[in-house]
Copies of this chain bind each other. A is one copy, B any other.
Amino acid sequence: MNIHKNLIALLFILFGYSVQAQNLMNKYNLMPWPNEIQENANLFSINPNLTISIKGEDSGRVNHAVINFLRRLSGRTGIFIDKGFPNTNKKSKSSINIYFDTISNLTLGEDESYTLTITNKHITINAKTDIGAIRGIETLLQLTSSNKTTYYFPGVNVTDKPRFVWRGLMIDAARHFQPIDVIKRNLDAMASVKLNVFHWHLTDDHGFRVASKIYPKLQELASDGLFYTQEQVKEIVAYASLLGIRVVPEFDVPGHASAILTAYPNLGSKENYDYQIERFAGVFNPTLNPSKEETYQFLNKLFTEMASLFPDAYFHIGGDENAGKHWNESEEIQNFKNTHGLKSNHDLQTYFNIRLEKILKKSNKFLMGWDEIMTKNMPTTAVIHSWRGKNEGLKESTLIEAAKKGYQTVLSNGYYIDRMLSVAHHYSVDPIGNATLTDSELKNILGGEATMWSELVTPLTIDSRIWPRTAAIAERFWSPKEVNDINNMLIRLEDVNHKLEELGLTHLKNKSVILRNLTNYQNISSLTVLSNICEPLKVYSRNKGGTEYKTFSPFTLFADACNVDASEALKFHSAVTNYLNKSTTGNKNEIISFLDKWICNQQKFSLLKPNRKLNEISSSYENLANASKIIKKKLSKKISKKQTIVLEKALKSIKNPFVDVEFAIYNDLKKLATQSKN
C-alpha cells in the first residue's frame, strides 16, 4: 500500500495536480469535483452493520442528512442496513463518525468546508459547521461504488470547500405555478450538488404567488388560486434551512406588475387601464406608479409582511425590463419627474429603488435587484444580479462592471437554463473569466445562479429543464476554476443525472409519460428513439412562428418530451467524427447501426394507430428514414444522381424545425452525406 501511495505522490510531484486530478476524475463520479482528493488504497465495505454517529451539538440538519443518507444508500444498494437512525449513544464510536463544531445560522459566507477520510473500517467527516458536515455527507454518498458482488466506498481523503459563497438556482413560480412538492424535490437536488441559495421568483405579470394577510386581493384576484400559503412558505424556508440552503424571495417591481395591478389597479401608472393577469409570454407595460405616495405605503406594508416570512438578509426586488411606456404616457409621472429633478426614467426608477431600500432596511434586509438597478445614484449597499451580457447587446456581462463599481454581485448571464442551450455552454461560462480585478473587487463577486424561467415549463417538465444541466453549473460555482474538462464533466454528469432520480426528480421518468400520452397509450419505443435525437427549439424561438403559447396551453407535446443535449445525438456525433476521421469497417458499422435504428423505428412508428398529435410528426420522421436509407447506401457505393437529389431534399426538410423541435443530428447527417467517400 505504501508503494502505491508513494507512486501517486511521485506522479504528483512529476506531473502536478492536473494529471492526478484527471486520473481520479475518470474514476469517481463526484460533482461538484472537490477542492482536493487523494486515494489512500483503502476500501470501506457497505454492509448491514453500518452505523453512524453524529459528534456535535446538532440543530437537526445533520440528523436529517444522516437519515436520508441511510435511506438513499439502502435504496440504491438494496442492502438492509440494520440501524435506520444515527447512533444515540454519544460515547460509542460508529463506523461513520461525523464531527462538527458549530451550528450555522445560514448567513452569506458561512463556512461550508469539510474533510472526508475513508479507510477500511472507519469513515470520518470533519467540518467547522453542521452545513459543512452535510456537504461532506453528500460527497460520501456520491462515492458509493459497486463491483460484481458488493458495494463499497473507495478509500480517499477529501479536503473541500467552495469557490463561491453564492451558488443558486432561481425558480420562477409566477409564470407557471410550481407546487411545493416541486420546490422540495428541487431543494433536495440542489443540496445533492451543494447549491446553497434558492431564489424564489414569486410574482410577475402572470401571478402573485404568496398569500398576503394585509393585501389578500393579491392572492384572491391575481393568482388563479395558485399561490403558496404563508405556512407553506415557512415550510419551504425551514426545509431549505435543513439542507443548508438560503431562500431569497423575489417580488418583482415596478415592472412585471400586471398581477399586482389586477388586484390593486389604483397603484398603476395608467389610469382607467384594464389590468389583467397576463396569459402570454413577453415583456409588458403594466408598471407601478412611482409618483404616488400610496405605492410606497403599499410596498412598505407588503414588503414588511413578506420580509417576515423570509429570514435571509437578502430580498430581491426585481427591477428589470421596465421600458417605461406607461410612465411616459402619464402626465402625473412626468410632472413628478420634473418636480424631483429626475431627468430620465432611469433616474425615476433609482428614486423608486432607493425608497425601497429604506423600506427593506427596516426589516434588516439588503436590497438585491437585476442589473437594471445599477444606475448612477444607486448606493453600493444594493446587490446587483447580473443577467445581461453579449446576448443583450452589451460588451460583456454586467457582473464585472458591478464588482468594479463596488457592488456585491451575482451572475446569471450565461446560466439561463430556460434558453435550452447545451450543458457544455453553461459549464464554460466562468463568473470571473479573464477579468483583472483587485482583491476587493474579486470579493464583490459572490457567485452565480442558474435561472429557471417558467414561460414554457409546468410541474410535468420543469425538472427536465433544470436537471442535469444545473449540476454542472453547480460545479462551476463550487469547484476550482481549473476543473473545466467538458468531456470528463459529461461522463460524471451522466451518473449524477441518474442518481438524481432517487430524490424523486421527474426529469427522466416524465419523458415516457408525455410520449405515452402522445401516442394515446400505444407502444412508445419508436417515438422514444425519435425523441432522443430531437431538441426543443432554443432561445425562446419556441414561442415564435406557430401557435403562441399561453400559460394554460398544453405543455404535453413532443417538444416537452425532448430535451437539450439529446442523448443519442451526442453519441451519433462521436460516431460520425470517428468515421470521417478514419473510415474503418468498425466505424462504418457504428454509423449504420444508428441509421438502421432510425429506419426501423420509423417503420414501427408508421404502424401506430394515427392521431392528430402523431400526424404532425410523421413526415419529419419519414424524411429522416429516407435520408438514412440513402446515406446508408452511399456509405457502401456510389448513389445515383436521382438519389442524390432525393437525399438533398430530405436533408433540407430535416433542417427545418417541426412541432417546436429540431433534429440535433442534422449537422452530422449533413456532414456524412457530403463528406462520406462515395
**Selected contact of A611 from candidates B148, B506, B547, CB within 8 Å:** B148
Q: Chain B nearest CB: distance from A424 CB in Å?
A: 21
Bound CA span A553–B504, Å: 18
Interface presence of A119 (CB below 8 A) = no
**Residues of chain B contacted by A181 (CB below 8 angstroms):** 179-181
Bound CA span A74–B555, Å: 9
Among A303-311, A319-327, A329-337, A511-519, the stretch in contact with B: A511-519
| A residues 138-162 touching B (CB-CB < 8 Å) | 146-151
Bound CA span A224–B88, Å: 14
Most buried by B among A78, A151, A495: A78
Bound CA span A85–B552, Å: 9
The answer to whether residues A613 and B78 also contact, given A231-B229, A279-B84 and a CB cut-off of 8 A, is yes
Of all chain B residues, the one with the shortest Cβ separation from A60 is B225
Q: Are B498 and A78 interface neighbours, CB within 8 A?
A: no
Counting chain A residues whose Cβ lies within 8 A of the other chain, the interface size class is 35 or more
Interface presence of A79 (CB below 8 A) = yes
Bound CA span A149–B609, Å: 11
Q: Are A611 and B79 interface neighbours, CB within 8 A?
A: no
**Residues of chain B contacted by A513 (CB below 8 angstroms):** 501, 508-509
- What is the oligomeric copy number? 2
Most buried by B among A494, A501, A610, A615: A501
Interface presence of A300 (CB below 8 A) = no
25 contacts across the A-B interface (CB closer than 8 A): A70-B552, A74-B556, A76-B517, A76-B556, A77-B612, A78-B556, A78-B612, A80-B553, A80-B554, A81-B552, A84-B550, A85-B224, A146-B612, A147-B611, A148-B610, A148-B615, A149-B615, A181-B181, A229-B231, A231-B231, A494-B521, A495-B521, A498-B516, A509-B510, A509-B512
The answer to whether residues A520 and B74 also contact, given A79-B554, A279-B84, A509-B513 and a CB cut-off of 8 A, is no
Bound CA span A80–B660, Å: 14
Of all chain B residues, the one with the shortest Cβ separation from A185 is B181
The answer to whether residues A517 and B495 also contact, given A70-B552, A80-B554 and a CB cut-off of 8 A, is no
The answer to whether residues A554 and B78 also contact, given A146-B611, A179-B181, A231-B229 and a CB cut-off of 8 A, is yes
Q: Are A521 and B498 interface neighbours, CB within 8 A?
A: yes
**Residues of chain B contacted by A363 (CB below 8 angstroms):** none
**Residues of chain B contacted by A74 (CB below 8 angstroms):** 552-554, 556
Bound CA span A104–B513, Å: 35
Interface presence of A557 (CB below 8 A) = yes
Interface presence of A502 (CB below 8 A) = yes
Using an 8 Å CB-CB cutoff, how does the interface string of A113-150 with B read, 1 for contact, 0 for none? 00000000000000000000000000000000011111
Interface presence of A526 (CB below 8 A) = no
Q: Are B556 and A75 interface neighbours, CB within 8 A?
A: yes
The answer to whether residues A150 and B612 also contact, given A498-B521, A553-B80 and a CB cut-off of 8 A, is yes
Q: Are B612 and A151 interface neighbours, CB within 8 A?
A: yes
Q: Are B498 and A508 interface neighbours, CB within 8 A?
A: no
Q: Are B612 and A517 interface neighbours, CB within 8 A?
A: no
Interface presence of A35 (CB below 8 A) = no
Interface presence of A71 (CB below 8 A) = yes
Most buried by B among A79, A180, A551, A554: A554
**Residues of chain B contacted by A147 (CB below 8 angstroms):** 611
A-B interface, 7 closest residue pairs, ranked by CB to CB distance from nearest: A84-B552, A181-B181, A498-B521, A509-B509, A75-B556, A231-B231, A74-B554
| A residues 451-499 touching B (CB-CB < 8 Å) | 459, 494-495, 498-499
Bound CA span A494–B521, Å: 9
Q: Could you list 15 further interchain pairs (A-B, Cβ under 8 angstroms) beyond the known A75-B554, A77-B613, A501-B516? A: A78-B554, A78-B613, A80-B550, A81-B552, A85-B224, A146-B611, A147-B611, A148-B612, A149-B610, A151-B611, A151-B612, A229-B235, A459-B504, A495-B521, A509-B509
Using an 8 Å CB-CB cutoff, how does the interface string of A503-537 with B read, 1 for contact, 0 for none? 01010111011001110110000000000000000
Bound CA span A44–B146, Å: 57
Q: Chain B nearest CB: distance from A496 CB in Å?
A: 10
Bound CA span A279–B82, Å: 11
Bound CA span A81–B556, Å: 13
**Residues of chain B contacted by A508 (CB below 8 angstroms):** 512-513, 516
**Residues of chain B contacted by A179 (CB below 8 angstroms):** 181
Q: Are A75 and B498 interface neighbours, CB within 8 A?
A: no
Of all chain B residues, the one with the shortest Cβ separation from A181 is B181
Q: Chain B nearest CB: distance from A560 CB in Å?
A: 10
Q: Chain B nearest CB: distance from A177 CB in Å?
A: 12
| A residues 40-90 touching B (CB-CB < 8 Å) | 64, 67, 70-71, 74-81, 84-85
The answer to whether residues A551 and B78 also contact, given A146-B611, A510-B509, A610-B148 and a CB cut-off of 8 A, is no
Of all chain B residues, the one with the shortest Cβ separation from A70 is B552
Q: Chain B nearest CB: distance from A27 CB in Å?
A: 16
Q: Are B84 and A551 interface neighbours, CB within 8 A?
A: yes
Bound CA span A81–B146, Å: 50
Q: Are A612 and B547 interface neighbours, CB within 8 A?
A: no
Bound CA span A229–B231, Å: 10
Most buried by B among A229, A502, A517: A517
Bound CA span A520–B508, Å: 15
Q: Chain B nearest CB: distance from A54 CB in Å?
A: 15
Bound CA span A552–B554, Å: 39
Bound CA span A173–B150, Å: 33
**Residues of chain B contacted by A151 (CB below 8 angstroms):** 611-612
Bound CA span A499–B20, Å: 52
